[in-house]
Amino acid sequence: MFWNPVVNKIRSRLSRWKGRLLSMAGRICLIKSVISALPLFYFSFFKAPVNVCNQIRCIQAQFLWGWGHVSRKIAWVKWKWICRPVDYGGLGIKDISCFNASLLAKWKWRLETSKEGLWWEILQARYGCWRDIGVSSGSSKDSVWWKDLIRVCGNVTEGNWFDRRL
């Protein structure tokens, strides 16, 4: 599977012995740094499947709540509250699926704001009318990356959330 190296790398970085030796603040800091750095390349180009996001979320939660202990530890707070910003009472840990969607949506934002460079010329030549990314559902000849970008930014049936924000 394409995503196995990413999940295995995260699992190895958030290993059991580190969970036993670190305080809660240390575990939070390590989760933030590992999740911010390791899957960044993959998440900025590909839409992660739901099961991969769930695996990574599970690794994060186990590490936070006492990874390395034999018995199962209690999760004292819902994960959606943990992923909230610190200003709103959370721990500031990134929600993996939202992080993935925002990195993919950044490509559309860059297409809208920056109209120079080789990457822009290549996408313009390959996909032509990229402004209609929310209107069209994509053709069968489009790449997996482009189809993921269309899905993440939303289309007309999903409310086209990205274009409403511009």
Q: What is the DSSP string of 46-88?
A: SPPPHHHHHHHHHHHHHHHTTTT-SSPPP--S-HHHHTS-GGG
Greater confidence (57 vs 162) lies with 57
The Cα 144–Cα 42 span in angstroms is 13
The Cα 115–Cα 27 span in angstroms is 41
Per-residue pLDDT tens over the stretch 26-79: 888 888 888 878 888 888 888 899 999 999 998 888 888 876 555 667 778 888
> Residue 17's pLDDT is what?
66
Report the pLDDT averaged over residues 94-107.
88
**Full-model pTM:** 0.78
The Cα 1–Cα 158 span in angstroms is 29
> Residue 75's pLDDT is what?
77
> Residue 122's pLDDT is what?
81
> Residue 50's pLDDT is what?
93
DSSP state for residue 137 in the 8-state scheme = -
Greater confidence (162 vs 21) lies with 21
